[in-house]
Chains A and B, each alone.
Chain A
């Protein structure tokens, strides 16, 4: 008769660490001597350790990097705060203002080929991510964000069927529309609950979506795969992408309820996507 093994994996880890109290250690050792299943589990743990130790390459920290660190430590020793230019951000960006705004602008820069400038106070900063501003910028250094890129008057109308309903669920109303470039349309929707969504549409042959290693999921709505990018806050979404009937859609959450449990909620996002699909099916504009 085979007895069921009751040794928890955590006990194996503790035994491997050598952190079990002496009485318990002997019990685990006796069990390991007799239980083939646990022997295999322990062998797996040890094999993983070996793979990682053998396979992890040694890091060659360049002399330049060590010199940089020495300089930063010297600065830290000299004064209470580091110079802003040495803070970790995206070091190729030219200004502190740009670095502070980069987290929220990142999706915009990556999604939209041309982002213009407009009046947008820093205090109304996009909060779909947990963005920390270390200090308030003087007004003349604040980088303005335009919700919708201005239309280019020289581009012809788009060749695809733009989907631009006047209203969407949750009180969302289309407040701006532009054609910033060839075969590009931007639509801004807002409601009274501080939600602002930027819809970008283009022909489906562009076929660009964003895939993250984590925080990405695909849901199917009306047979169409829709890619969602998670907001760090629970059950919230920061962007969506899908292609349907010749049109590429990308929705960027520009504004959403703030706070630890804020953000644009999953269920609301799917409701809006479905409404856009309904509008597309109805050929509405």
Chain B
């Protein structure tokens, strides 16, 4: 991970590869160190992906269980964190295939708002969704490939080459997604803030 990693390694604990070595030699309890280290950040990442804290926590659990079971397949030439997030990414893809987030709204309402400048950002629209902060709303508006890249880069601190490995894409594709995601994020974030301020005044 880059030096700007937001996942801090607690001082004095073993490095990831040292923990894995212990687990492989039979000290299964040592895996808890990796859980302590990555459970919070991974759950946060997955929560922003799916927009639901409970579901994010479920997916994080599944990821750790799969990582534990597959530890003998982990090859040490890439960081454990990137490998773990790769498992999480695959879990997320399975989730999107099996389940979709649905909301029921009136077709009349939809037709009425289809012509407005920000049809999905009116306050009464957002009220039909679960309570979301601005960040969650903006993330939800990004396409999944761009959201993946942005969360991994800006939230989790992975570099573009690491993101390429996690997502199974080329390095240049990862860099393009990151730059496009940030540009779109900024645009949407500014628009959303302007719209909300306009509604507060109005």
Contacts and interface: CB of A to CB of B under 8 A. Distances in A.
A130 B143 contact: no
Contact of A59 (B44, B161, B172, B175): B44
B143 A10 contact: no
A59 B47 contact: yes
Nearest to B142: A214
A11 B160 CA distance: 11
A5 interface: no
Interface stretch (B12-20, B76-84, B103-111, B194-202): B103-111
Interface in A223-243: 225, 227, 229, 232, 241-243
Contact of B154 (A52, A59, A232): A52
Q: Tell me the interface secondary structure of chain A in the complex.
A: mixed
A276 interface: no
A207 interface: yes
B172 A10 contact: yes
Contact of B135 (A52, A76, A91, A210): A52
A103 B99 contact: yes
Interface string B28-49: 1001100100011101100110
Contacts of A93: none
B122 interface: no
A187 B17 CA distance: 60
Q: What is the interface of chain B mostly: helix, strand, loop, or mixed?
A: helix
B61 A69 contact: yes
A29 interface: no
Given A17-B160, A207-B107, A210-B104, A76 B65 contact: yes
A271 interface: no
A17 B100 CA distance: 34
A19 B161 contact: yes
Given A9-B176, A106-B99, A211-B104, 9 more contacts: A10-B179, A45-B179, A53-B154, A56-B44, A72-B65, A129-B98, A208-B107, A210-B104, A241-B107
Closest 10 CB pairs of A and B: A9-B179, A10-B175, A59-B44, A17-B159, A52-B154, A48-B182, A13-B175, A207-B106, A103-B98, A130-B97
17 contacts: A44-B183, A49-B182, A51-B135, A51-B185, A52-B154, A55-B135, A59-B47, A59-B53, A76-B65, A88-B58, A91-B58, A132-B94, A210-B103, A212-B101, A227-B107, A243-B107, A248-B107
